[in-house]
């Protein structure tokens, strides 16, 4: 006897991007407030990771990064499956691009998970490697997602993606690239200036009297702006996920099939 159960669920996927954005913004604000309250860093624009470098705020920082990683990965996977249906309709050229984009996104999510697991104060080297993975692969994911959106738009198979949305993603991706370069250059120069002047120093404490402070401030502000570009980019998927639904099928082992899950884009064509 073969048993089969199939259901279609409206899970409000468009809310996922809003939820993770709210979680990250509120979470990092909380870690910043705690870090300043306990005197663990100077209050004016520290690096994001330094707001969770020491306990107790480091516990919340790890929790926020872990929860965000799970939701980001879910969003990236939903997007992958959503795009997959288009090349199943005959657009084979974007199949490899879609898979490659998903892999890049998954690596960037893994970087975020490592950033939360290895705090800057305790495991500085591991934290820096994780940050590089997060930012580099995160920016690459933004560019490739923009390219995927562009290719889908020109197929004419869906109107869930419009020219304005693609342009916004392109602008955000360009902003992220420019900001990241500015952040890296200003950070390295400010550190070299301070090391040349003071030798060993505590990276958690900077003020206007310290050599290289203007460049340090430029770097920290750039990092916060870079984090916002990531949030802004994923918020653009609110339109793509607006009418996405999840169909789950369960079949008996006798049918020699595993559970199947796929997302269906029910965007109305006009």
Tokens matching residue 231: 């949030």
pLDDT of 152 reads: 82
What pLDDT does residue 158 have?
Answer: 61
Q: What pLDDT score was predicted for residue 229?
A: 95
- Can you give the pLDDT at residue 264? 45
pLDDT the model gives residue 212: 86
pLDDT along the chain (270 residues), means of 10: 45 80 92 90 85 89 94 92 73 80 96 90 86 95 93 70 86 97 93 82 79 90 94 88 62 48 43
Beta bridge partners of 263: 246
Cβ burial of 84 (10 Å; 0-12, 13-18, 19+) is middle
- In this structure, which long-range contacts are made by residues 185-188, counting pairs with CB atoms below 8 Å and at least 24 apart in sequence? 186/215, 186/216, 186/218, 186/219, 186/222, 187/215, 187/216, 187/219
Tell me what pLDDT residue 196 has. 80
Cβ contact 52:62 at 8 Å: yes
pTM for this structure?
Answer: 0.83
């Amino acid at each position: 006897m073969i048993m089969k159960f199939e259901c279609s669920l409206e899970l409000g996927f468009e809310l996922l991007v809003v939820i993770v954005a709210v979680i990250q913004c509120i979470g990092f604000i909380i870690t910043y407030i705690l870090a300043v309250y306990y005197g663990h860093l100077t209050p004016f624009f520290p690096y994001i990771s330094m707001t969770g470098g020491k306990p107790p705020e480091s516990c919340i920082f790890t929790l926020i990064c872990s929860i965000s990683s799970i939701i980001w990965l879910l969003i990236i996977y939903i997007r992958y499956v959503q795009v997959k249906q288009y090349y199943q309709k005959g657009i084979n050229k974007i199949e490899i691009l879609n898979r490659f984009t998903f892999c890049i996104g998954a690596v960037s999510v893994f970087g975020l998970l490592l950033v939360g697991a290895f705090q800057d104060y305790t495991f500085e080297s591991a934290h820096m490697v994780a940050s590089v993975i997060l930012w580099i692969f995160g920016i690459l994911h933004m560019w490739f997602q923009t390219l995927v959106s562009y290719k889908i738009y020109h197929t004419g198979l869906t109107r869930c993606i419009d020219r304005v949305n693609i342009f916004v993603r392109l602008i955000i991706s360009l902003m992220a690239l420019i900001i990241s370069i500015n952040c890296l250059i200003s950070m390295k120069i400010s550190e070299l200036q301070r090391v040349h002047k003071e030798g060993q120093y505590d990276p958690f404490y900077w003020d206007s009297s310290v050599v290289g402070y203007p460049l340090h401030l430029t770097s920290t502000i750039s990092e916060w702006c870079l984090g916002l570009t990531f949030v802004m980019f994923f918020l653009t998927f609110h339109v793509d996920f607006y009418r996405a639904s999840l169909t789950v099928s369960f079949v008996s082992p006798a049918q020699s099939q595993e559970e199947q899950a796929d997302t269906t884009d029910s965007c109305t064509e006009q």
